[in-house]
Structure 1
Protein backbone atom coordinates (compact mmCIF):
# COMPACT_ATOMS: atom_id res chain seq x y z
CA UNK A 1 0.00 0.00 0.00
CA UNK A 2 2.73 2.58 0.78
CA UNK A 3 4.33 1.69 -2.55
CA UNK A 4 1.02 2.29 -4.41
CA UNK A 5 0.52 5.59 -2.60
CA UNK A 6 4.01 6.70 -3.73
CA UNK A 7 3.22 5.90 -7.35
CA UNK A 8 -0.11 7.76 -7.11
CA UNK A 9 1.61 10.78 -5.58
CA UNK A 10 4.19 10.79 -8.35
CA UNK A 11 1.47 10.71 -11.04
CA UNK A 12 -0.37 13.60 -9.40
CA UNK A 13 2.85 15.62 -9.19
CA UNK A 14 3.67 14.98 -12.84
CA UNK A 15 0.17 16.01 -13.96
CA UNK A 16 0.31 19.13 -11.82
CA UNK A 17 3.63 20.27 -13.29
CA UNK A 18 3.31 23.27 -15.69
CA UNK A 19 3.55 22.45 -19.38
CA UNK A 20 6.95 23.05 -20.95
CA UNK A 21 7.37 25.81 -23.43
CA UNK A 22 6.74 24.98 -27.04
CA UNK A 23 9.49 24.15 -29.46
CA UNK A 24 11.72 27.28 -29.72
CA UNK A 25 11.83 27.01 -33.51
CA UNK A 26 8.03 26.85 -33.71
CA UNK A 27 7.65 29.79 -31.32
CA UNK A 28 10.09 31.87 -33.37
CA UNK A 29 8.17 31.09 -36.56
CA UNK A 30 4.88 32.16 -34.96
CA UNK A 31 6.44 35.40 -33.73
CA UNK A 32 7.84 36.11 -37.18
CA UNK A 33 4.43 35.59 -38.74
CA UNK A 34 2.84 37.92 -36.18
CA UNK A 35 5.37 40.66 -36.92
CA UNK A 36 4.86 40.23 -40.67
CA UNK A 37 1.09 40.49 -40.23
CA UNK A 38 1.53 43.78 -38.35
CA UNK A 39 3.38 45.18 -41.38
CA UNK A 40 0.64 44.26 -43.86
CA UNK A 41 -2.26 46.24 -45.22
CA UNK A 42 -5.08 45.35 -47.59
CA UNK A 43 -5.63 47.37 -50.73
CA UNK A 44 -7.47 47.58 -54.03
CA UNK A 45 -6.53 48.60 -57.58
CA UNK A 46 -8.32 51.67 -58.90
CA UNK A 47 -8.03 53.44 -62.23
CA UNK A 48 -7.20 57.13 -62.41
CA UNK A 49 -9.26 57.38 -65.61
CA UNK A 50 -12.75 56.01 -65.06
CA UNK A 51 -16.15 57.59 -65.55
CA UNK A 52 -19.87 57.05 -65.77
CA UNK A 53 -21.00 58.90 -68.89
CA UNK A 54 -24.46 60.47 -68.78
CA UNK A 55 -26.83 61.84 -71.38
CA UNK A 56 -26.68 65.61 -71.83
CA UNK A 57 -30.05 65.72 -73.58
CA UNK A 58 -33.35 63.87 -73.71
CA UNK A 59 -33.70 61.57 -76.69
CA UNK A 60 -33.70 58.10 -78.17
CA UNK A 61 -30.45 56.15 -78.51
CA UNK A 62 -29.81 54.91 -82.04
CA UNK A 63 -26.33 53.42 -81.74
CA UNK A 64 -23.94 52.04 -79.11
CA UNK A 65 -21.06 50.47 -81.06
CA UNK A 66 -19.12 49.12 -78.07
CA UNK A 67 -20.24 46.35 -75.70
CA UNK A 68 -18.91 45.35 -72.28
CA UNK A 69 -15.19 44.59 -72.32
CA UNK A 70 -14.52 46.10 -75.75
CA UNK A 71 -11.68 48.57 -76.22
CA UNK A 72 -12.12 52.04 -77.69
CA UNK A 73 -9.91 54.99 -78.54
CA UNK A 74 -10.19 58.56 -77.32
CA UNK A 75 -12.76 60.68 -79.25
CA UNK A 76 -14.49 57.63 -80.76
CA UNK A 77 -18.29 57.79 -80.68
CA UNK A 78 -19.62 55.62 -77.85
CA UNK A 79 -23.30 56.60 -78.01
CA UNK A 80 -25.34 58.27 -80.74
CA UNK A 81 -28.83 59.80 -80.33
CA UNK A 82 -31.63 60.44 -82.78
CA UNK A 83 -31.20 64.17 -83.35
CA UNK A 84 -33.48 64.84 -86.33
CA UNK A 85 -35.53 67.41 -84.39
CA UNK A 86 -32.45 69.22 -83.04
CA UNK A 87 -30.86 69.33 -86.49
CA UNK A 88 -34.06 70.76 -88.01
CA UNK A 89 -34.17 73.47 -85.36
CA UNK A 90 -30.53 74.28 -86.02
CA UNK A 91 -31.19 74.60 -89.72
CA UNK A 92 -34.08 76.98 -89.02
CA UNK A 93 -32.14 79.29 -86.72
CA UNK A 94 -29.14 79.29 -89.07
CA UNK A 95 -31.43 80.48 -91.86
CA UNK A 96 -32.79 83.17 -89.53
CA UNK A 97 -29.23 84.22 -88.71
CA UNK A 98 -28.41 84.58 -92.42
CA UNK A 99 -31.51 86.71 -92.94
CA UNK A 100 -30.55 88.90 -89.97
CA UNK A 101 -27.07 89.42 -91.39
CA UNK A 102 -28.51 90.41 -94.78
CA UNK A 103 -30.91 92.83 -93.12
CA UNK A 104 -28.08 94.42 -91.14
CA UNK A 105 -25.97 94.85 -94.28
CA UNK A 106 -28.91 96.45 -96.06
CA UNK A 107 -29.58 98.85 -93.16
CA UNK A 108 -25.93 99.84 -93.05
CA UNK A 109 -26.00 100.67 -96.78
CA UNK A 110 -29.11 102.79 -96.30
CA UNK A 111 -27.55 104.53 -93.34
CA UNK A 112 -24.56 105.44 -95.48
CA UNK A 113 -27.01 107.18 -97.84
CA UNK A 114 -28.77 108.82 -94.88
CA UNK A 115 -31.95 106.92 -95.77
CA UNK A 116 -32.39 105.37 -92.31
CA UNK A 117 -31.41 106.49 -88.86
CA UNK A 118 -28.92 105.01 -86.47
CA UNK A 119 -31.75 103.42 -84.49
CA UNK A 120 -32.72 101.20 -87.45
CA UNK A 121 -29.13 100.03 -87.84
CA UNK A 122 -28.80 99.25 -84.13
CA UNK A 123 -32.06 97.30 -84.17
CA UNK A 124 -30.93 95.21 -87.16
CA UNK A 125 -27.63 94.52 -85.45
CA UNK A 126 -29.47 93.33 -82.31
CA UNK A 127 -31.63 90.98 -84.40
CA UNK A 128 -28.52 89.54 -86.03
CA UNK A 129 -26.83 88.98 -82.64
CA UNK A 130 -29.95 87.29 -81.27
CA UNK A 131 -30.25 84.94 -84.26
CA UNK A 132 -26.59 83.93 -84.05
CA UNK A 133 -26.90 83.28 -80.32
CA UNK A 134 -29.89 81.00 -80.93
CA UNK A 135 -27.96 79.18 -83.64
CA UNK A 136 -25.09 78.59 -81.21
CA UNK A 137 -27.49 77.06 -78.68
CA UNK A 138 -28.71 74.51 -81.22
CA UNK A 139 -25.16 73.79 -82.39
CA UNK A 140 -24.38 72.74 -78.82
CA UNK A 141 -27.50 70.57 -78.72
CA UNK A 142 -26.58 68.84 -81.98
CA UNK A 143 -23.03 68.29 -80.72
CA UNK A 144 -24.50 66.51 -77.68
CA UNK A 145 -26.25 64.05 -79.98
CA UNK A 146 -23.14 61.90 -79.84
CA UNK A 147 -21.11 60.94 -76.76
CA UNK A 148 -17.39 60.57 -77.48
CA UNK A 149 -14.75 58.73 -75.46
CA UNK A 150 -12.87 60.99 -73.01
CA UNK A 151 -9.83 58.66 -73.04
CA UNK A 152 -8.60 55.32 -74.39
CA UNK A 153 -10.23 52.52 -72.43
CA UNK A 154 -12.81 49.76 -72.16
CA UNK A 155 -16.54 49.56 -71.57
CA UNK A 156 -17.33 48.31 -68.06
CA UNK A 157 -21.11 48.34 -68.27
CA UNK A 158 -23.94 49.58 -70.44
CA UNK A 159 -26.51 51.26 -68.24
CA UNK A 160 -29.01 51.53 -71.14
CA UNK A 161 -29.44 49.85 -74.53
CA UNK A 162 -29.91 51.04 -78.12
CA UNK A 163 -33.45 52.15 -79.05
CA UNK A 164 -34.23 53.19 -75.45
CA UNK A 165 -35.29 56.76 -74.73
CA UNK A 166 -33.53 58.51 -71.86
CA UNK A 167 -33.92 61.75 -69.95
CA UNK A 168 -31.26 64.39 -69.47
CA UNK A 169 -28.66 63.25 -66.93
CA UNK A 170 -29.38 59.52 -67.27
CA UNK A 171 -26.22 57.38 -66.76
CA UNK A 172 -25.64 55.50 -70.01
CA UNK A 173 -22.15 54.00 -70.01
CA UNK A 174 -19.42 53.16 -67.49
CA UNK A 175 -15.87 53.20 -68.86
CA UNK A 176 -12.37 52.62 -67.46
CA UNK A 177 -8.74 52.75 -68.55
CA UNK A 178 -6.92 49.83 -66.92
CA UNK A 179 -3.55 51.25 -67.99
CA UNK A 180 -3.82 53.94 -65.30
CA UNK A 181 -4.16 51.71 -62.24
CA UNK A 182 -3.08 52.79 -58.76
CA UNK A 183 -3.05 50.97 -55.43
CA UNK A 184 -5.32 52.37 -52.72
CA UNK A 185 -4.50 51.18 -49.20
CA UNK A 186 -5.84 51.93 -45.74
CA UNK A 187 -2.84 51.81 -43.41
CA UNK A 188 -2.64 52.34 -39.62
CA UNK A 189 -2.29 55.99 -38.71
CA UNK A 190 0.73 55.19 -36.51
CA UNK A 191 2.68 54.56 -39.74
CA UNK A 192 2.37 58.22 -40.72
CA UNK A 193 5.77 59.20 -39.31
CA UNK A 194 7.48 56.41 -41.26
CA UNK A 195 5.74 56.51 -44.65
CA UNK A 196 7.19 58.87 -47.27
CA UNK A 197 6.52 59.39 -50.99
CA UNK A 198 8.95 57.30 -53.01
CA UNK A 199 9.09 54.51 -50.42
CA UNK A 200 8.75 51.03 -51.93
CA UNK A 201 6.82 47.99 -50.73
CA UNK A 202 5.56 44.67 -52.08
CA UNK A 203 1.97 44.26 -53.25
CA UNK A 204 0.54 40.84 -54.10
CA UNK A 205 -2.86 40.81 -55.91
CA UNK A 206 -5.10 37.98 -54.74
CA UNK A 207 -6.15 37.18 -58.30
CA UNK A 208 -2.63 36.71 -59.73
CA UNK A 209 -0.45 35.90 -56.70
CA UNK A 210 2.47 37.66 -58.38
CA UNK A 211 4.44 40.06 -56.12
CA UNK A 212 4.74 43.59 -57.49
CA UNK A 213 7.21 46.27 -56.40
CA UNK A 214 5.02 49.30 -55.71
CA UNK A 215 5.99 52.86 -54.75
CA UNK A 216 4.22 55.27 -52.41
CA UNK A 217 2.89 58.19 -54.47
CA UNK A 218 0.99 60.26 -51.93
CA UNK A 219 -0.82 60.06 -48.59
CA UNK A 220 -4.37 60.99 -47.75
CA UNK A 221 -5.35 64.38 -46.35
CA UNK A 222 -6.95 63.16 -43.12
CA UNK A 223 -7.05 60.24 -40.69
CA UNK A 224 -10.31 58.40 -40.18
CA UNK A 225 -11.32 58.97 -36.54
CA UNK A 226 -13.18 55.69 -36.17
CA UNK A 227 -10.71 53.21 -37.65
CA UNK A 228 -7.53 55.27 -37.11
CA UNK A 229 -6.45 54.57 -40.69
CA UNK A 230 -4.92 56.72 -43.41
CA UNK A 231 -5.38 56.48 -47.17
CA UNK A 232 -2.20 55.66 -49.10
CA UNK A 233 -2.00 55.79 -52.90
CA UNK A 234 0.83 53.99 -54.67
CA UNK A 235 1.97 53.42 -58.25
CA UNK A 236 2.56 50.09 -59.94
CA UNK A 237 5.68 49.17 -61.91
CA UNK A 238 5.59 50.17 -65.58
CA UNK A 239 5.85 46.57 -66.77
CA UNK A 240 2.89 45.31 -64.69
CA UNK A 241 0.38 43.48 -66.89
CA UNK A 242 -2.77 41.40 -66.58
CA UNK A 243 -4.24 43.70 -63.91
CA UNK A 244 -7.78 45.06 -63.77
CA UNK A 245 -9.46 47.74 -61.71
CA UNK A 246 -11.14 46.25 -58.65
CA UNK A 247 -8.49 43.62 -57.94
CA UNK A 248 -7.56 43.42 -54.25
CA UNK A 249 -4.41 42.29 -52.54
CA UNK A 250 -1.99 42.54 -49.64
CA UNK A 251 0.81 45.06 -49.20
CA UNK A 252 3.90 44.13 -47.19
CA UNK A 253 5.96 46.96 -45.68
CA UNK A 254 9.33 46.86 -43.95
CA UNK A 255 10.33 48.83 -40.88
CA UNK A 256 6.82 49.79 -39.79
CA UNK A 257 6.24 50.56 -36.09
Structure 2
Protein backbone atom coordinates (compact mmCIF):
# COMPACT_ATOMS: atom_id res chain seq x y z
CA UNK A 1 0.00 0.00 0.00
CA UNK A 2 2.86 2.34 0.86
CA UNK A 3 4.55 1.62 -2.45
CA UNK A 4 1.38 2.48 -4.34
CA UNK A 5 1.09 5.85 -2.55
CA UNK A 6 4.77 6.65 -3.20
CA UNK A 7 4.48 5.88 -6.92
CA UNK A 8 1.32 7.99 -7.22
CA UNK A 9 3.02 10.95 -5.44
CA UNK A 10 6.12 10.70 -7.64
CA UNK A 11 4.00 10.67 -10.79
CA UNK A 12 2.15 13.75 -9.62
CA UNK A 13 5.40 15.63 -8.95
CA UNK A 14 6.84 14.71 -12.36
CA UNK A 15 3.63 15.74 -14.11
CA UNK A 16 3.69 19.08 -12.31
CA UNK A 17 7.31 19.71 -13.35
CA UNK A 18 6.53 18.91 -16.98
CA UNK A 19 3.69 21.42 -16.96
CA UNK A 20 5.87 24.10 -15.38
CA UNK A 21 8.88 23.56 -17.64
CA UNK A 22 7.20 23.06 -21.01
CA UNK A 23 7.78 25.86 -23.63
CA UNK A 24 5.21 28.60 -23.68
CA UNK A 25 2.75 28.65 -26.55
CA UNK A 26 4.49 30.52 -29.37
CA UNK A 27 1.20 31.99 -30.49
CA UNK A 28 0.45 33.43 -27.09
CA UNK A 29 0.42 37.23 -27.05
CA UNK A 30 3.52 38.89 -25.66
CA UNK A 31 3.63 41.80 -23.19
CA UNK A 32 0.76 42.85 -20.90
CA UNK A 33 -2.28 40.66 -21.24
CA UNK A 34 -5.87 41.89 -21.38
CA UNK A 35 -7.45 42.05 -17.98
CA UNK A 36 -10.50 44.07 -18.88
CA UNK A 37 -9.14 46.94 -16.84
CA UNK A 38 -8.31 50.20 -18.67
CA UNK A 39 -4.66 51.28 -18.74
CA UNK A 40 -3.84 54.88 -17.86
CA UNK A 41 -1.88 56.62 -20.64
CA UNK A 42 -0.98 60.16 -21.65
CA UNK A 43 -1.96 61.34 -25.11
CA UNK A 44 -1.98 64.39 -27.31
CA UNK A 45 -4.35 65.59 -30.02
CA UNK A 46 -2.44 65.86 -33.30
CA UNK A 47 -2.35 69.25 -35.02
CA UNK A 48 -0.53 70.46 -38.12
CA UNK A 49 2.25 73.02 -37.74
CA UNK A 50 4.85 74.75 -39.88
CA UNK A 51 8.09 72.89 -39.21
CA UNK A 52 11.68 73.50 -40.19
CA UNK A 53 14.52 71.00 -40.01
CA UNK A 54 17.83 72.56 -39.03
CA UNK A 55 21.24 71.21 -38.10
CA UNK A 56 23.90 72.95 -36.05
CA UNK A 57 27.58 72.54 -36.93
CA UNK A 58 30.85 74.38 -36.38
CA UNK A 59 32.91 75.86 -39.19
CA UNK A 60 35.86 78.08 -39.98
CA UNK A 61 36.00 81.57 -41.46
CA UNK A 62 38.33 81.93 -44.45
CA UNK A 63 39.36 84.82 -46.67
CA UNK A 64 37.66 84.60 -50.04
CA UNK A 65 41.09 85.04 -51.65
CA UNK A 66 44.43 84.69 -49.88
CA UNK A 67 48.03 84.74 -51.10
CA UNK A 68 51.53 85.16 -49.72
CA UNK A 69 53.08 88.03 -51.67
CA UNK A 70 56.37 86.75 -53.05
CA UNK A 71 58.91 87.94 -55.56
CA UNK A 72 59.61 85.99 -58.72
CA UNK A 73 63.04 87.58 -59.01
CA UNK A 74 65.94 88.40 -56.68
CA UNK A 75 67.02 91.98 -56.04
CA UNK A 76 67.14 94.98 -53.73
CA UNK A 77 63.87 96.58 -52.57
CA UNK A 78 63.76 100.21 -53.66
CA UNK A 79 60.14 101.07 -52.82
CA UNK A 80 57.30 99.78 -50.62
CA UNK A 81 53.95 100.99 -51.89
CA UNK A 82 51.64 99.92 -49.06
CA UNK A 83 51.07 100.51 -45.37
CA UNK A 84 50.65 97.47 -43.16
CA UNK A 85 46.97 96.59 -42.74
CA UNK A 86 45.88 98.93 -45.53
CA UNK A 87 43.29 98.32 -48.21
CA UNK A 88 44.59 98.33 -51.77
CA UNK A 89 43.03 97.83 -55.19
CA UNK A 90 43.87 95.39 -57.92
CA UNK A 91 46.87 96.63 -59.91
CA UNK A 92 48.24 98.97 -57.19
CA UNK A 93 52.04 98.90 -56.89
CA UNK A 94 53.01 97.12 -53.67
CA UNK A 95 56.76 96.68 -54.06
CA UNK A 96 59.51 97.81 -56.43
CA UNK A 97 62.75 95.89 -56.85
CA UNK A 98 65.81 97.56 -58.38
CA UNK A 99 65.52 96.89 -62.11
CA UNK A 100 68.55 98.92 -63.25
CA UNK A 101 70.64 95.82 -64.14
CA UNK A 102 67.84 94.57 -66.37
CA UNK A 103 67.28 97.99 -67.93
CA UNK A 104 70.99 98.13 -68.85
CA UNK A 105 70.83 94.64 -70.31
CA UNK A 106 67.76 95.65 -72.32
CA UNK A 107 69.58 98.62 -73.86
CA UNK A 108 72.50 96.38 -74.78
CA UNK A 109 70.23 93.79 -76.38
CA UNK A 110 68.37 96.45 -78.37
CA UNK A 111 71.67 97.71 -79.78
CA UNK A 112 72.68 94.17 -80.64
CA UNK A 113 69.35 93.63 -82.34
CA UNK A 114 69.91 96.65 -84.56
CA UNK A 115 73.32 95.26 -85.58
CA UNK A 116 71.89 91.83 -86.31
CA UNK A 117 69.11 93.37 -88.39
CA UNK A 118 71.64 95.26 -90.54
CA UNK A 119 73.72 92.09 -90.92
CA UNK A 120 70.67 90.10 -91.99
CA UNK A 121 69.67 92.72 -94.60
CA UNK A 122 73.19 92.75 -96.11
CA UNK A 123 73.37 88.96 -96.15
CA UNK A 124 70.03 88.78 -97.91
CA UNK A 125 71.26 91.08 -100.71
CA UNK A 126 74.42 89.00 -101.14
CA UNK A 127 72.38 85.79 -101.15
CA UNK A 128 70.22 87.15 -103.97
CA UNK A 129 73.31 87.49 -106.20
CA UNK A 130 74.87 84.26 -104.92
CA UNK A 131 77.51 86.27 -103.04
CA UNK A 132 77.15 84.15 -99.88
CA UNK A 133 75.98 80.66 -99.05
CA UNK A 134 72.51 79.93 -97.75
CA UNK A 135 74.10 78.86 -94.47
CA UNK A 136 75.46 82.38 -93.89
CA UNK A 137 72.00 83.84 -94.30
CA UNK A 138 70.51 81.24 -91.93
CA UNK A 139 73.07 82.10 -89.25
CA UNK A 140 72.30 85.82 -89.55
CA UNK A 141 68.55 85.15 -89.32
CA UNK A 142 69.03 82.90 -86.28
CA UNK A 143 71.08 85.58 -84.51
CA UNK A 144 68.28 88.10 -84.96
CA UNK A 145 65.62 85.70 -83.64
CA UNK A 146 67.81 84.86 -80.64
CA UNK A 147 68.31 88.49 -79.63
CA UNK A 148 64.56 89.14 -79.98
CA UNK A 149 63.94 86.27 -77.53
CA UNK A 150 66.55 87.74 -75.12
CA UNK A 151 64.79 91.10 -75.24
CA UNK A 152 61.43 89.52 -74.38
CA UNK A 153 63.04 87.64 -71.46
CA UNK A 154 64.60 90.84 -70.10
CA UNK A 155 61.23 92.63 -70.35
CA UNK A 156 59.63 89.83 -68.28
CA UNK A 157 62.35 90.25 -65.63
CA UNK A 158 61.71 94.00 -65.55
CA UNK A 159 57.97 93.36 -65.08
CA UNK A 160 58.79 90.99 -62.18
CA UNK A 161 60.58 93.86 -60.44
CA UNK A 162 57.20 95.60 -59.94
CA UNK A 163 54.89 93.60 -57.65
CA UNK A 164 51.23 94.69 -57.88
CA UNK A 165 48.05 93.68 -56.04
CA UNK A 166 46.40 90.66 -57.72
CA UNK A 167 42.95 91.69 -56.43
CA UNK A 168 41.25 94.16 -54.09
CA UNK A 169 42.20 93.31 -50.53
CA UNK A 170 44.07 94.06 -47.33
CA UNK A 171 47.84 93.76 -46.96
CA UNK A 172 49.09 92.18 -43.75
CA UNK A 173 52.28 92.84 -41.81
CA UNK A 174 55.39 93.18 -43.97
CA UNK A 175 58.50 91.05 -43.58
CA UNK A 176 60.91 93.28 -45.54
CA UNK A 177 62.22 96.85 -45.56
CA UNK A 178 63.54 99.27 -48.19
CA UNK A 179 67.07 98.23 -49.00
CA UNK A 180 66.47 94.56 -48.19
CA UNK A 181 67.83 92.02 -50.64
CA UNK A 182 65.13 89.46 -51.33
CA UNK A 183 65.28 86.15 -53.14
CA UNK A 184 62.64 84.38 -55.15
CA UNK A 185 60.15 82.85 -52.70
CA UNK A 186 60.71 85.47 -49.98
CA UNK A 187 57.34 86.19 -48.33
CA UNK A 188 56.81 89.94 -48.43
CA UNK A 189 53.43 89.98 -46.63
CA UNK A 190 50.10 88.17 -46.48
CA UNK A 191 47.40 89.55 -48.76
CA UNK A 192 43.72 88.73 -48.26
CA UNK A 193 40.33 89.61 -49.66
CA UNK A 194 37.89 89.86 -46.74
CA UNK A 195 34.64 90.90 -48.38
CA UNK A 196 33.08 88.51 -48.81
CA UNK A 197 34.53 85.79 -46.58
CA UNK A 198 34.12 82.05 -46.95
CA UNK A 199 32.49 79.83 -44.33
CA UNK A 200 33.98 76.34 -44.45
CA UNK A 201 32.16 73.45 -42.72
CA UNK A 202 31.06 69.81 -42.85
CA UNK A 203 27.62 68.23 -42.38
CA UNK A 204 26.87 64.55 -41.59
CA UNK A 205 26.53 62.30 -44.63
CA UNK A 206 22.85 61.53 -43.95
CA UNK A 207 21.93 65.19 -44.58
CA UNK A 208 23.87 65.50 -47.86
CA UNK A 209 20.81 64.95 -50.13
CA UNK A 210 19.01 67.85 -48.43
CA UNK A 211 21.42 70.68 -49.22
CA UNK A 212 22.36 72.35 -52.49
CA UNK A 213 24.20 75.38 -53.83
CA UNK A 214 22.19 78.52 -53.16
CA UNK A 215 20.85 77.42 -49.76
CA UNK A 216 21.14 80.02 -46.99
CA UNK A 217 22.92 79.61 -43.66
CA UNK A 218 22.90 81.55 -40.40
CA UNK A 219 25.85 81.78 -38.03
CA UNK A 220 27.46 83.71 -35.20
CA UNK A 221 31.01 84.06 -33.94
CA UNK A 222 32.63 84.16 -30.53
CA UNK A 223 32.38 87.51 -28.77
CA UNK A 224 29.71 88.80 -31.14
CA UNK A 225 26.02 88.10 -30.63
CA UNK A 226 25.13 89.60 -33.99
CA UNK A 227 23.55 87.07 -36.37
CA UNK A 228 25.24 86.72 -39.75
CA UNK A 229 23.92 85.13 -42.93
CA UNK A 230 25.57 83.47 -45.88
CA UNK A 231 24.80 81.43 -48.96
CA UNK A 232 26.18 78.05 -50.00
CA UNK A 233 28.15 78.29 -53.24
CA UNK A 234 29.95 74.95 -53.48
CA UNK A 235 29.71 71.35 -52.26
CA UNK A 236 32.44 68.74 -52.50
CA UNK A 237 31.35 65.96 -54.91
CA UNK A 238 32.37 63.22 -52.45
CA UNK A 239 32.07 62.31 -48.76
CA UNK A 240 35.25 63.01 -46.82
CA UNK A 241 36.72 59.71 -45.62
CA UNK A 242 38.32 61.30 -42.55
CA UNK A 243 35.31 63.16 -41.15
CA UNK A 244 32.55 61.06 -42.73
CA UNK A 245 30.84 64.30 -43.73
CA UNK A 246 30.12 66.43 -46.78
CA UNK A 247 32.46 69.41 -47.23
CA UNK A 248 30.61 72.67 -47.92
CA UNK A 249 31.55 76.31 -48.43
CA UNK A 250 29.42 79.43 -48.28
CA UNK A 251 30.00 83.12 -48.95
CA UNK A 252 29.10 85.75 -46.34
CA UNK A 253 29.21 89.54 -46.77
CA UNK A 254 31.78 91.28 -44.55
CA UNK A 255 31.58 94.98 -45.38
CA UNK A 256 32.22 95.98 -41.74
CA UNK A 257 35.22 93.67 -41.39
CA UNK A 258 33.79 91.98 -38.28
CA UNK A 259 34.48 88.49 -39.62
CA UNK A 260 38.15 87.58 -39.40
CA UNK A 261 39.76 84.63 -41.20
CA UNK A 262 40.79 81.86 -38.83
CA UNK A 263 37.81 82.42 -36.52
CA UNK A 264 35.16 79.80 -35.69
CA UNK A 265 31.54 80.05 -36.78
CA UNK A 266 28.54 78.41 -35.09
CA UNK A 267 26.33 77.55 -38.05
CA UNK A 268 22.60 76.91 -38.26
CA UNK A 269 21.66 75.28 -41.54
CA UNK A 270 17.94 75.03 -42.45
CA UNK A 271 17.52 71.83 -44.44
CA UNK A 272 13.83 71.77 -45.29
CA UNK A 273 10.68 73.75 -44.51
CA UNK A 274 7.46 71.76 -44.14
CA UNK A 275 4.15 73.67 -44.12
CA UNK A 276 1.22 71.89 -42.48
CA UNK A 277 3.47 69.18 -41.03
CA UNK A 278 2.41 66.67 -38.38
CA UNK A 279 5.01 66.88 -35.61
CA UNK A 280 4.82 64.45 -32.70
CA UNK A 281 6.96 63.94 -29.57
CA UNK A 282 9.90 61.66 -30.33
CA UNK A 283 9.14 59.49 -27.28
CA UNK A 284 5.84 58.39 -28.87
CA UNK A 285 7.66 56.54 -31.66
CA UNK A 286 8.17 52.79 -31.18
CA UNK A 287 11.13 51.57 -33.26
CA UNK A 288 11.17 48.11 -34.81
CA UNK A 289 13.51 46.16 -37.03
CA UNK A 290 12.15 47.81 -40.17
CA UNK A 291 10.23 51.04 -39.69
CA UNK A 292 8.42 52.57 -36.72
CA UNK A 293 4.98 52.38 -35.09
CA UNK A 294 2.89 54.57 -32.81
CA UNK A 295 -0.22 53.91 -30.74
CA UNK A 296 -3.36 55.96 -31.23
CA UNK A 297 -6.68 55.97 -29.42
CA UNK A 298 -9.67 54.54 -31.32
CA UNK A 299 -12.71 55.14 -29.16
CA UNK A 300 -10.94 54.15 -25.93
CA UNK A 301 -9.10 51.21 -27.56
CA UNK A 302 -5.37 51.18 -28.43
CA UNK A 303 -4.51 50.80 -32.12
CA UNK A 304 -0.96 50.26 -33.41
CA UNK A 305 -0.22 52.29 -36.55
CA UNK A 306 2.90 52.09 -38.78
CA UNK A 307 4.30 55.52 -39.65
CA UNK A 308 6.91 57.07 -41.91
CA UNK A 309 9.09 59.85 -40.48
CA UNK A 310 10.55 63.03 -41.92
CA UNK A 311 12.46 65.91 -40.39
CA UNK A 312 13.56 65.88 -36.75
CA UNK A 313 14.16 68.44 -34.04
CA UNK A 314 15.62 68.01 -30.56
CA UNK A 315 12.34 66.71 -29.10
CA UNK A 316 9.96 66.00 -31.97
CA UNK A 317 9.76 64.28 -35.32
CA UNK A 318 7.64 64.79 -38.43
CA UNK A 319 5.24 62.04 -39.49
CA UNK A 320 4.89 62.03 -43.26
CA UNK A 321 2.56 59.04 -43.50
CA UNK A 322 0.29 57.13 -41.13
CA UNK A 323 -1.30 59.86 -39.00
CA UNK A 324 -3.85 62.59 -39.60
CA UNK A 325 -4.67 65.85 -37.86
CA UNK A 326 -7.22 65.13 -35.12
CA UNK A 327 -5.84 61.67 -34.23
CA UNK A 328 -5.20 61.07 -30.53
CA UNK A 329 -1.60 59.93 -30.14
CA UNK A 330 -0.43 57.89 -27.15
CA UNK A 331 2.77 59.52 -25.88
CA UNK A 332 3.39 57.87 -22.52
CA UNK A 333 2.32 54.44 -21.30
CA UNK A 334 2.72 52.64 -24.63
CA UNK A 335 4.95 49.99 -23.00
CA UNK A 336 2.01 48.87 -20.88
CA UNK A 337 -0.48 48.38 -23.70
CA UNK A 338 -1.00 46.26 -26.79
CA UNK A 339 -3.39 46.52 -29.74
CA UNK A 340 -6.90 46.29 -28.34
CA UNK A 341 -6.08 47.47 -24.81
CA UNK A 342 -8.70 49.59 -23.10
CA UNK A 343 -7.43 53.08 -22.33
CA UNK A 344 -7.92 55.77 -19.74
CA UNK A 345 -6.51 58.92 -21.28
CA UNK A 346 -5.07 62.04 -19.72
CA UNK A 347 -3.63 64.78 -21.86
CA UNK A 348 0.15 64.91 -22.26
CA UNK A 349 1.82 68.14 -21.18
Q: How far does residue 117 in structure 1 lie from its aligned partner after superposition?
A: 3.0
Greater CA deviation, 178-187 or 149-158? 178-187
1:19-69 CA distance string (max 9 Å, x none): xxxxxxxxxxxxxxxxx9x82111222222221121111111111121221
Out of 87, 111, 115, the position equivalent to 1:95 is 111
Q: How far does residue 82 in structure 1 lie from its aligned partner after superposition?
A: 1.2
Kindly indicate whether the alpha-carbon contact (under 8 Å) linking 2:216 and 2:270 is maintained by their aligned counterparts in 1: no
Unaligned stretches of 5+ residues in structure 2: 1-52, 272-310, 313-349
Aligned to 2:225, the other structure's residue is in SS state coil
Corresponding residue pairs, total: 220
Q: How does 1:107-118 map to 2 (within 5 A)?
A: 107-118=123-134
Counterpart CA distance in 2 for 1:129 and 1:155 is 42
Corresponding residue for 2:74?
A: 58
Q: How far does residue 187 in structure 1 lie from its aligned partner after superposition?
A: 2.3
Corresponding residue for 2:192?
A: 176
The structure with the greater share of residues assigned to helix is 1
Q: 1:213 to 1:227 in 2, by over 3 A?
A: same
Q: 1:240 to 1:162 in 2, by over 3 A?
A: closer
Q: How far does residue 102 in structure 1 lie from its aligned partner after superposition?
A: 1.2
Q: How does 1:132-151 map to 2 (within 5 A)?
A: 132-151=148-167
Aligned to 1:178, the other structure's residue is in SS state strand
Out of 150, 169, 175, the position equivalent to 1:159 is 175
Aligned to 1:139, the other structure's residue is in SS state helix
Q: 1:204 to 1:109 in 2, by over 3 A?
A: same
Q: How far does residue 201 in structure 1 lie from its aligned partner after superposition?
A: 2.5
Counterpart CA distance in 2 for 1:116 and 1:254 is 83
TM-score, normalising length from structure 2?
Answer: 0.58
Corresponding residue for 2:257?
A: 242
Aligned to 2:209, the other structure's residue is in SS state coil
Runs of 4+ in 1 over 4 A off after TM superposition: none
Aligned to 1:151, the other structure's residue is in SS state coil
Aligned to 1:233, the other structure's residue is in SS state strand
Q: 1:88 to 1:207 in 2, by over 3 A?
A: farther
Q: How far does residue 150 in structure 1 lie from its aligned partner after superposition?
A: 0.8
Corresponding residue for 2:97?
A: 81
Q: How far does residue 120 in structure 1 lie from its aligned partner after superposition?
A: 1.9
Q: How does 1:27-46 map to 2 (within 5 A)?
A: 39-46=55-62
Q: How far does residue 132 in structure 1 lie from its aligned partner after superposition?
A: 1.2
Unaligned stretches of 5+ residues in structure 1: 1-35
Q: How far does residue 233 in structure 1 lie from its aligned partner after superposition?
A: 0.7
The structure with the greater share of residues assigned to strand is 2
Out of 62, 67, 71, the position equivalent to 2:87 is 71
Q: How far does residue 77 in structure 1 lie from its aligned partner after superposition?
A: 1.1
Q: Does 1:105 align with 2:121?
A: yes
Aligned to 1:215, the other structure's residue is in SS state strand
Q: Which has the larger radius of gyration?
A: 2
Kindly indicate whether the alpha-carbon contact (under 8 Å) linking 1:201 and 1:214 is maintained by their aligned counterparts in 2: yes
Q: How far does residue 218 in structure 1 lie from its aligned partner after superposition?
A: 1.9
Counterpart CA distance in 2 for 1:118 and 1:185 is 69
1:132-178 CA distance string (max 9 Å, x none): 11122111111111111111111023232222111222222211111
Aligned to 1:192, the other structure's residue is in SS state helix
Aligned to 1:116, the other structure's residue is in SS state coil
Counterpart CA distance in 1 for 2:212 and 2:89 is 36
